[in-house]
Amino acid sequence: MLLLLVAAGCVPKSESDVVVYSALDEQFAAPIFAAYERGVDHETGVVAKFDVESTKTVGLVNQIIAEQNSPVCDLFWNNEIMHTVRLQKLGLLKPRRWSVAAGWPTDMIASDGSWCGFAARGRVLLVNTEKIKSKDDYPTSVRDLADPQWKDNCALARPLFGTTATHFAVLRANDGHDETLELLKQIQQNAVVLSGNKQVALAVAAGELAWGLTDTDDAIIERDRLRNVAIVFPDQQPDQPGTLRIPNTIAVLKAAPHPVAAEALADYLVSAKTEDRLAMGDSSQLPVSRHSDYKPRVMPSYPVRWMKVDFEAAAEGWEQWAKEVMEIFPD
């Protein structure tokens, strides 16, 4: 039986249970945990602690750090990879060999094997098709956020949290510190800054803005609602870097109380079967495995070229970088 706990404190469990801290919402993760329990004839139970609105991912990460001398969590399922890298750099994750399909992208596994990325969200442009009627006029690049023709008519989430913060940290690692900081200054002068990716998608769908940078899970909701929107996977030209995808991550804690059970569940979660289940769900997540059978409905008809990423490099100097970004995007 799946146990759901959302409050801090003791996590009741038996010796055969594996304790998972999950940043992925209960509605998506709980059925997968239940399927795993059925698959092992309930010999292993999954005790899940989900983050809540008031704490978000950082709450679970901080709890893992606080518990490091007396660990409770066996396995961490995160949907904000930079916080996973934070735990990696603190030495709290267990390096291991992942049972993944051949051809798994190298940027989706930690350099020391301490985490594995799967079931990603893409960073896309959501366009209001009433505001921009011709496809020839659609924005095609994240850098278009700084284009004066879109002044006060395009948007992004404040780049200090979540996937938007990760996005610009990746650009800093790829393009350089000074170039990315200058781009952010130009964007701040040109684009509307909203509180989150969901708010960007809602504003575009409502016709308040012509387009915005958001995530595929927020974009597909508006398309599923039959709003006048189109989804553009940006930066697809040969001289452009490709579209960024930000994966979910699975990591086994270095001092996991139940390491054998945790590792078995970890390999199950990064399987093509799990990715297909997440691809079919409301958030239409993007499988990493080449063996996935299901094409998410958010994907376009043409092949998408993905950005090559070193998430560990993107996390370097995070605190100082965040201070510099905050100076550009103050409260």
Instruction: Write the pLDDT tens digit of every residue in 284-293.
Output: 999 999 889 8
Q: Which class for 149: exposed (0-12), middle (13-18), buried (19 or more C-beta within 10 A)?
A: exposed
Q: Tokens for 255?
A: 């001092």
Place of tokens 């051949």: 102
- The kind and range of the H/E element at 39 are helix 26-39
Q: Tokens for 329?
A: 């995007």
User: Does the pLDDT at position 55 exceed 70?
Assistant: no
Confidence (pLDDT) at 16:
72
- The kind and range of the H/E element at 178 are helix 177-190
Architecture of domain 121-244+317-328 in this structure: 3-Layer(aba) Sandwich (3.40)
Domains of the chain, residue spans: 3-120+247-299, 121-244+317-328
Judge whether 3-120+247-299 and 121-244+317-328 match in fold.
yes
> 178 vs 80, which has greater pLDDT?
178
Could you tell me the sign of the dihedral formed by the alpha carbons of 313, 316, 322, 324, in that order?
Answer: negative
Confidence (pLDDT) at 51:
76
pLDDT, tens only, 11-45: 445 567 999 999 988 988 999 999 999 999 888 99
Mean of all residue pLDDT scores within the chain: 93
* CATH hierarchy code of domain 3-120+247-299: 3.40.190.10
Q: Are 207 and 130 in contact (CB under 8 A)?
A: yes
